[in-house]
Amino acid sequence: MVLIEWVDSRQPVPEWRYVSDYDNAMNVIPVMSLGFLIHDGKDVKALAPNLGQIGQDDEQTSGVIRIPSRAVLKMKRLRTGR
């Protein structure tokens, strides 16, 4: 189980805007995500909020989020009963 602090891009801006208006629109958004770290790769971290079939040969998961490793600001491992 980990808590990852990372940055993400903002939602796309659908309407027409002047390029000069993009100073504030170009900021990233700080995000905190909590979950089971199922992949800790050089390019991507994968977090799963749910695990099933715990302790069996082939555990299951759902709702996986993939976070680009270069977007990660901090990752803290948390203690679990697992």
- The per-residue pLDDT for range 12-53, each reduced to its tens digit, is 778 888 888 777 666 889 999 999 999 999 999 999 999 998
pTM above 0.85, yes or no: no
Q: Residue 71: name the closest of 38, 19, 33 by CA.
A: 33
Average pLDDT over residues 58-64: 93
Per the CB < 8 A criterion, the answer to whether 2 and 37 are in contact is yes
pLDDT of residue 79: 86
Which band of pLDDT confidence, cut at 50, 70 and 90, is reported for residue 6?
very high
- State the pLDDT at residue 70: 97
In a 13 Å sphere around the CA of 20, the CA atoms on its Cβ side amount to 0
Q: Judge residue 47's burial from the number of C-beta atoms within 10 Å of its C-beta, 0-12 exposed, 13-18 middle, 19 or more buried.
A: buried
Q: pLDDT at position 44, please?
A: 98
Whole-angstrom Cα Rg for the chain: 17
pLDDT of residue 11: 78
Domain ranges of the chain: 2-77
